[in-house]
Amino acid sequence: MNMKIFFTSLVLFIIKTSFSLANEIFVSNDLSESLESLYEYNPKIKYEREILKSKDELLPKAFSNFRPEISGYYQKGKVDTSSKGFNITSDGIRTETNKGVVISQSIFDGGSSFSEIQISKNEIFSQRFYLKSIEQEVFLEGINLYAEFATENSNLILKKKNVEVLKRQLELTKEQFEIGEVTMTDVSIAEARLLLAESENLESINNLNSLEANFLSIFGKAPQKPKIEIPLKSLYSDFDELKKKALEENPKIKGIKYKIKSFKKQIQSLKRKQLPSVKLEAEAKINEGYFRTDSKREVLSAFAKIDIPIYRSGLASSEIRSLRKQATAEIELLKLETKILESNLTSSKSSFDYSISKINAFKKQIESNKIYLEGLKQELQLGERTTLDVLNGEQELLESSLGLVMAFKDYFVSYYEILFHLGKLNAKGLKLNVTLFDDEKNYNEVKGKWLDIIE
């Protein structure tokens, strides 16, 4: 009966094999609540959201190239003139005033403004996927911590049960020693095993205290009752299909691709700036004191101005070369991240499949160890086994039970790692009960703003 009590904690790891993972993502209620808190609290996610909002301003900035610029001016000063050969009464010092409005409108800039629009969009899209990537990284970090806490908590339950069993075993051994059935050596061995179990129990308690502090800093709240709860099912038997999905949907990969597009458009924009540009300038001004102190005139003017870049001191070619190098570097980064993704995906899938076999193996091992231990106890009563044999049998059973706990942790973590590689480890993919951050809301609000109003 004692051993049945000892293993009641394993109920936490009973698996529901009827659940299908192929078409639906599984998240337990407690994990879901923890991730919801993480999504709303985490400062790193909030920081990247604000960075994205700042990137959204690139689009109205690009659109501003198509709008006129209007400026006013006012000048007032002293003018000293001295003319020879003319009978002009305005010689001498006079006060002159100029005031007016200038309107400048770009008509054609070689097409660089259109390139700027594409650049801004690519930069914004790249930042959106970077935000998704950061969200995934934060979630994976949180899930790893959640799994560590749940595993250590389960280990503590098992170790506490082990201490209780060893205490009863020590009491029984002492009683047997008093009636001469065992020796003092058996008592010493039982005491040593109990002290070791109590030490391991204390170690788990200290680990839990440390993990709880980390949990609070990441999730923004203390853990409730974390437990590893997930169905046991094979996932994506076709690895090539899995890899294809990951390369298509991983946000980090998609973000880098948009970054490459941005660099290419920046190169295009610089090349177009080398073409002639046409600008229309109009001015309305009032000039007072230009001839005599009491003179005044009103001037309206309009000019079409053509700028033809001829030589820019080597700046243009230097900027283009620099951007080409950056684009090449980003292409190499894409290759590197693709290889890393494939490698990590292979590792996660292997760990996932291996953990399933480990779970089944440990479950069978536990059943065998329980039968073996019961046999040892019966043989001990008949005098065919020693107390050390029984304690060793209990230790083997404990180790296989702890091994099962760790196998479930590996299965749990590798499952969510696969979702991470597939780009599904986010609030939307996990269907969390939160208000999702709308990465287009601010974008749509600011893209059409054109007034110079400081908010």
What's the per-residue H, E or C state across 248-272? HHCHHHHHHHHHHHHHHHHHHHHHH
- Please say if the pLDDT value at position 406 is more than 60: yes
Q: How far apart are CA 112 and CA 271, in angstroms?
A: 8
Q: How far apart are CA 235 and CA 241, in angstroms?
A: 11
Is position 101 within any domain? no
Q: Look at residue 427 and give its three-state secondary structure.
A: coil
Average pLDDT over residues 4-26: 47
The predicted pLDDT at position 3 comes to 47
pLDDT class for 455, splitting at 50, 70, 90? low
Is position 285 within any domain? no
Q: Look at residue 232 and give its three-state secondary structure.
A: coil
Average pLDDT over residues 105-113: 92
The predicted pLDDT at position 90 comes to 57
Which residue range(s) make up the domain with 392? 2-66+126-273+336-431+438-446
Amino acid identity of 223?
A: P
C-alpha pair distances (Å), 423 with each of 19, 229, 249, 375: 22, 22, 6, 51
pLDDT tens-digit readout, 177-229? 888 878 898 889 889 989 999 999 999 999 999 999 999 888 888 888 888 88
Q: How far apart are CA 132 and CA 250, in angstroms?
A: 9
Q: How many domains are contained in the chain?
A: 1
Output 26 or 386, whichever has higher pLDDT.
26
CB 397 within 8 A of CB 373: yes
- Please say if the pLDDT value at position 97 is more than 70: yes
Is position 305 within any domain? no
pLDDT class for 85, splitting at 50, 70, 90? low
Sign of the Cα torsion 166, 171, 175, 180 reads positive
Q: How far apart are CA 306 and CA 280, in angstroms?
A: 9
Percent of the chain whose pLDDT exceeds 70: 91
Is position 306 within any domain? no
Average pLDDT over residues 384-396: 83
C-alpha pair distances (Å), 322 with each of 115, 316, 317, 329: 18, 10, 9, 11
C-alpha pair distances (Å), 294 with each of 88, 92, 108, 291: 14, 14, 42, 8
pLDDT class for 141, splitting at 50, 70, 90? very high
Amino acid identity of 201?
A: N
Is position 243 within any domain? yes
The predicted pLDDT at position 122 comes to 97
- Please say if the pLDDT value at position 80 is more than 90: no
Is position 231 within any domain? yes
CB 263 within 8 A of CB 334: no
Is position 390 within any domain? yes
pLDDT tens-digit readout, 352-371? 999 999 999 999 999 999 99
Residue 326: its H or E element:
helix 315-381
pLDDT tens-digit readout, 300-349? 999 999 999 988 888 889 999 999 999 999 999 999 999 999 999 999 99
Residue with tokens 């005031």: 99
Q: How far apart are CA 349 and CA 239, in angstroms?
A: 8
Is position 215 within any domain? yes
Q: What angle do CA 265, 51, 58 make, to 5 degrees?
A: 35
> What CATH number is associated with residue 398?
1.20.1600.10
